[in-house]
Structures are given as structure tokens and as C-alpha cells.
Structure 1
């Protein structure tokens, strides 16, 4: 009734306002509506501060605080305020922040900067984050030089990635619970029976222009194995109408 009318008229405490939607403390007794009710009972209806506070389940000290805010600031005084201090006594000086920023630009880590400046790591990290230097990325480095070949087959990238074999094989999510040999073996070139635990080498070729990729999982990355993979990769690209001209690898 009166509360709804006064809130809608005031505007700043309406349910659609940003301040009204502010998350209240879990143990807070008064919402903005409750504070307005407190003011109405004292200022309009003539209740005593003690009676109004008891009716709302708060202390007289709390009621007096909200009344004082309302009398000095009006409706705005009934809104929640930030609990952050206005002044931080031990805040780092601008000179210190500039020094930290300079060291960060040459890619010093937070522990290294803390050791040089005699500041806690947490302080250095907070300053770097506030200055937008929390993550190094390419900070202080030259821009990446990116390129892309103009035609298919002009350059093929080849790389090898070693992956450890899963002991016992894949789990039931892959096999669907079907039993399988959990300790498989193989016969090597010398005729010796060996377990297959160890490493696989994933050989990958990617065309720089089209990003068309060809990959094989092979037992090693020896020269003969790599040469065989390259021949099969060239044949693969040829089937797609691409003639390999150059190969780039770090092998």
C-alpha cells in the first residue's frame, strides 16, 4: 500500500532498479523496503526509534544508523554501500607500481619481481592484474609472423608426437565392457615375444595451404619409418590432386 506507493514514487528503490537487486548479506535483517518502512514508522507515524526497531527485529543502534542516513541523504541513504575502504594505508606507491610494470614488460614473473622489490608475491600479482598484465601471453614480444602458402602442396609440415600406450588397454567406456587381452604381446624382428607396453609415434603431415592432414600411428620414429610415412603421405595428397613440392620438419 503506502510502501509500494512510496517506492514507486521515489524511483531509486523500485524493484526494477539495479540497487534494489543487489545481493543482501545472508544474515541481514533489513532490505531496502524494510529500511523505508522503518523511516515511515518513525518520520510519518511518530513511532519511537526503540518501538520501530523492535517491530523489525533490529537494534536501536541499527535503526538510528539508517534514520541518520535517510535524514542526511534522503532515499539514496537507504541503499547498500560498498564495504571497501576509501583509503588503503599500505597501498603501494605509484613509483613502485611503475617499477613492477616495467619488470613485467620484460617478462619477469611475479616471484622474481617480488624478490627484486621486496614485496609479497600476492601484492605483485594484484598490481599486475590491476594493470592488465596478469598473464604474460605475448607481452613484450614482437608480433607473431604468420604466413600461409598460396597453393596446395607448396609446403607440407610433418611432425611426430610420442604417446604412451595405456596399460591394460582402453577402459570400459571405450570397449563397452567387452573382455579383451589386458596384457597383449608381439613378436619383434628377432622372433622374440615382447609385451606391447611402451610408446607409439603419431606421424602427422599437414598441407600449409589447405590444412588437409594425413596421420598414422606407427611403432617408432626411426628414419626408415619416417621415410615410409612420407611416401604414403605423398601418395595420399596425390589422390587428392595435390603435388608435394617441399617438406618442413624438425626431425
Structure 2
């Protein structure tokens, strides 16, 4: 967050709480809505100047997230059967997007990035130093005069 932004919020909150300005007057002076002014004043009353910083918008919990038992089943089926999200979803009766999200969370690579026989990651172009595979063809033209 921008430092000037948090200082502006602090000045707004102090005008309302400490100096006794009305919400509408402070909101008009700082060019925000009166609900925003009320929000910042309330945070300042409850938590002080430290509350003027932006908060994370990440939710504290996700009630629709699959439970750990289901996530473990998804990972086990992926490792043992080598199935994609759509087929795992059909077996477990879940949405393919849920299966995909779980596989991404557990950093399981897409099937296209795995060797079919060994199920290990395919690592292509492993060389000792960068540019080792660069190969340039040079063709020299004969410089004899015509005639």
C-alpha cells in the first residue's frame, strides 16, 4: 500500500475522532464517501493508527473446500491410476474443477508432463551450460570472378 494513502486515512480518522468533525464534512474534505469515512474512523477507534493499512482480502476459511480425506483420495488415484481431473471426478462424483484445484494445490504435474511408463517428470533439454545446443551452419560462397 502507498504510504501517502495510509497517512491520508489516518488524517481523516483523526479529524473525525480527535477533532470532532462530522462524517459528512470530513468525507467531503478528503473526497471519499461518508461510509468510507465512517469505516476508517471506526477502525481508528478500535485499533489505533496501525489499522489504517490495507487488509488482506483473502478469506479466513473456505467452507466449500474439499476435506483432507477427499484430497488424499484424489492424490492417491492420480498417482496409482494416472488419471486426469475429468476421470477422477467421474469416479468420485465431484466437479473436475475441484479435482484440478486439488492437484494444483499439491503440485502434481499434468499427465502430459509425465513419462507414461515410469510416471516421472519428463525433463527435456538438460545440458551442462546454457546454449550448448546452439548450432550454426556457415556456408562460404566461392569468390571467383565469372567469365
Q: Distance in 2 between matches of 1:142 and 1:124?
A: 20
Pairwise CA RMSD? 2.8
SS of structure 2 residue aligned to 1:125: helix
Over alpha carbons, which structure has the higher Rg?
1
- Structure 1 residues 127, 143: CA separation in 2 closer, same or farther (over 3 Å shift)? closer
**Structure 1 residue 38 displacement after superposition:** 0.5
Q: How does 1:98-113 map to 2 (within 5 A)?
A: 98-106=72-80, 107-113=82-88
The answer to whether the Cα contact below 8 Å between 1:66 and 1:78 also exists between their aligned partners in 2 is: yes
Residues 43 and 51 of structure 2 are in contact (CA less than 8 Å); yes or no, is this contact kept in structure 1?
Answer: yes
In structure 1, the partner of 2:30 is 56
State how far apart, in whole Å, the 1-side matches of 2:39 and 2:75 are: 43
**Pair 1:89-2:63 in alignment:** yes
Match of 1:141 in 2: 119
Q: Which residue of 1 aligns with 2:138?
A: none
Q: Per-residue deviation at 1:134?
A: 4.0
- 1:39 paired residue number: 13
Task: Give ranges in structure 1 of 5+ residues lacking alignment.
Answer: 1-18, 22-29, 145-210, 214-251
By how many angstroms is 1:95 displaced? 0.8
Question: Unpaired runs of 5+ in structure 2?
Answer: 123-132, 136-147
Q: Which structure: greater strand fraction?
A: 1
TM-score with structure 1 length normalisation? 0.42
Contact 2:77 2:83 (8 Å CA) reproduced: yes
Aligned length: 120
The corresponding residue for 1:69 is: 43
- Distance in 1 (CA, whole Å) between partners of 2:51 and 2:109 is 37
Over residues 58-80 of structure 1, what are the superposed CA-to-partner deviations in whole Å (9 max), with x where a residue is unaligned?
22222111111122222331111
Structure 1: how far apart are the matches of 2:93 and 2:84?
Answer: 14
| Structure with the higher helix share, 1 or 2 | 2
